[in-house]
Structure 1
Amino acid sequence: MSNTYTQIHIQCVMAVKYRQALIQPEWKDQLQKYITGIVQNHGHKVIAIDNMPDHLHLFFGFRPNQSLSDLMRIVKGESSEWINLQRFTPTVFRWQEGYGAFSYSRSHVQRVTNYVMKQGEHHKKHTFLEEYRQLLEQFEIKYDERYIFKEPE
């Protein structure tokens, strides 16, 4: 897109279906590289990516050449398929329906990058649901409790 200049920074948060702790340390780096490849193949730039066993944070520079919902559908679908083909999990792997998406100004890029990359430390103090609700409230996003990510089953 000639003559189109943007600076859009998005953090997306997605959870494993039923919040099962399926993402194992042995293959989390491979997963992060795979998702980075998907995002970059669609023209966006990954700034930071990290995950816990039950969820993933993806912070990236977003290009307006596709919708965010299309990109996230592709990321979740292709990464699920890849995980299943690799047989990393004892059961079929799926991401939970939906995701959180939060936009940031350039002045917040380093802070958000640090936050994403220190998920292990952060979750020693706060649960995923506490973190997710805090993001929704910080960004003043109204939400229906029925559709918030669920506690692990």
Structure 2
Amino acid sequence: MQDHIHILTHVNTTISIAALVKDIKLASSDFIMREAVFPSFKGWQDGYGAFSESIKSKDRLIQYIKNQEDHHQKVTFLDEYTALLEEHEIGFDPKYLL
């Protein structure tokens, strides 16, 4: 995907999602820039989205992530993300989704 990534992980209850995302962004930014993996990469956006699921959903989520390229040919990331927020009644300001 060109504008976002999906990460499926198990997180210990002693680690906050914010701390995990911060560490992932810092380490991956350092690697991407040091190795010039994506020459036009300027850094990650300020925000992120995180959703929790039951371990029973693991196989379904793996397939969902594997099929992202095909999936986003039919539904844009922004449309899908907005629908998820609305479905779960999570308030948001659209200006922060760009």
Contact in 2 for aligned 1:136/1:142 (Cα 8 Å):
yes
Q: 2:35 corresponds to which residue?
A: 86
TM-score (norm 2): 0.88
Match of 2:48 among 64, 78, 99: 99
Aligned length: 98
Compute the displacement of 1:142 (Å). Answer: 1.1
Higher helix share: 2
Structure 1 residue 92: Cα displacement = 4.6
CA distance in structure 2 between the aligned counterparts of 1:97 and 1:90, rounded to whole angstroms: 20
Aligned to 2:74, the other structure's residue is in SS state coil
- Give % identity: 39
Alignment of 1:1-153 (within 5 A): 52-148=1-97, 150=98
Root-mean-square deviation (Å): 1.4
Q: Which has the higher contact order (CA 8 A, sep 6+)?
A: 1
In the alignment, the residues of structure 1 paired with residue 60 and residue 87 of structure 2 have an alpha-carbon distance, to the nearest angstrom, of 15
How far apart, in 2, do the equivalents of 1:99 and 1:128 lie? 13
TM-score (norm 1): 0.59
The one-character-per-residue Cα deviations of 1:34-70 (angstroms, maximum 9, x if unpaired) are xxxxxxxxxxxxxxxxxx0211001111111221101
In structure 2, the CA distance between the partners of 1:107 and 1:69, relative to structure 1 (3 Å rule), is: same
The CA distance in 1 between the partners of 2:41 and 2:2, in whole Å, is 15
Amino acid at match of 1:142: G
Contact 1:83–1:93 under 8 Å retained in 2: no
After TM superposition, give the deviation of residue 91 of structure 1 in Å: 3.5
- Rounded to whole Å, the distance in 1 between the matches of 2:83 and 2:59 is 19
Contact preservation (8 Å) 1:102, 1:139: no
